[in-house]
Amino acid sequence: MIAVVVYLGITAYQVWRIGQQYAPQAAGAIVVMGAAQYNGVPSPDLAARLEQAALLWHQHYAPLIMVTGSKEPGDAYTEAQASARYLASVGVPRTDILEAGGRDSWENLSEAAPPLIARGDTSVLVVTDKFHVARSMAIASSVGLTPHPTPTQTSPITGFSAVPYYAKETLGVALGRIIGFDNLDSFRSLG
């Protein structure tokens, strides 16, 4: 029991610490992790991620933005489609935007990786919320990408409201390291 508590404590610190890193550098692409959208309009959380990606693109850190995410039953747009529309509205040409869909972080990155790798764009800037950076970076590495953390600096999820997200990500990273990040979804379906 002590070992489990120590492991979770160390993992919690790592999740927090990695989320504090902001390391933009020249890369082949910017990968935006999906989040909720409402009838084609990004949620405030997704909009913050997209603003960060657009900033990095405008600053010429990468020539391409890969947006990710699928849709819930009944949705007219995927998260990726809503993201692409948003980026186009802030001046990113559609030719510089690629889309990949997935129900979770693993699927998003495992579907985003093949077209990026085929283009030779394995070095990527990962844009998500600070609490989500550690797991996103681990998954990106496991699917053949070389990720660099560039969390959004304007997330609406801050302060005490971020604590449950950090707790969830701590468990996800801790468990993903043991059973593999590709198995997290099937593990959740058991309980």
DSSP codes joined into one string, 34-86: P--EETTEE-HHHHHHHHHHHHHHHTTS-S-EEEE----TT-SS-HHHHHHHH
Per-residue pLDDT averaged across 69-84, rounded? 93
Quickly list H helices, the chain: 2-20, 44-58, 79-89, 105-119, 133-142, 163-179, 184-190
Q: What is the pLDDT of residue 152?
A: 96
**What percent of the chain is predicted at pLDDT more than 90?**
90
Q: Report pLDDT digits (tens) over 103-154.
A: 899 999 999 999 999 999 999 999 999 999 999 999 999 999 999 999 999 9
Say yes or no to pLDDT of 188 above 90: no
Helices 133-142 and 163-179: crossing angle in degrees, nearest 10, is 20
Q: What is the pLDDT of residue 184?
A: 80
Per-residue pLDDT averaged across 157-176, rounded? 95
Q: Report pLDDT digits (tens) over 135-149.
A: 999 999 999 999 999
Q: What is the pLDDT of residue 46?
A: 97
Q: What is the pLDDT of residue 191?
A: 34
Q: What is the pLDDT of residue 126?
A: 98
**What percent of the chain is predicted at pLDDT more than 70?**
96
Are 111 and 132 within 8 A, CB to CB? no
Per-residue pLDDT averaged across 93-97, rounded? 98
- Could you identify the residue written with the tokens 């559609």? 94
Q: Report pLDDT digits (tens) over 26-44.
A: 999 999 999 999 999 999 9
Phi, psi of 97 (to 5 degrees): -125, 130
What domains are there in the chain, each with its CATH number? 22-157 (3.40.50.620)
Residues 6+ apart with CB under 8 A from 182: 106, 110, 142
Using CA atoms, how far apart are residues 136 and 127, in angstroms rounded to an integer? 9
Say yes or no to pLDDT of 86 above 60: yes
- The model's confidence at residue 175, banded by pLDDT at 50, 70 and 90, is very high
Using CA atoms, how far apart are residues 83 and 35, in angstroms rounded to an integer? 9
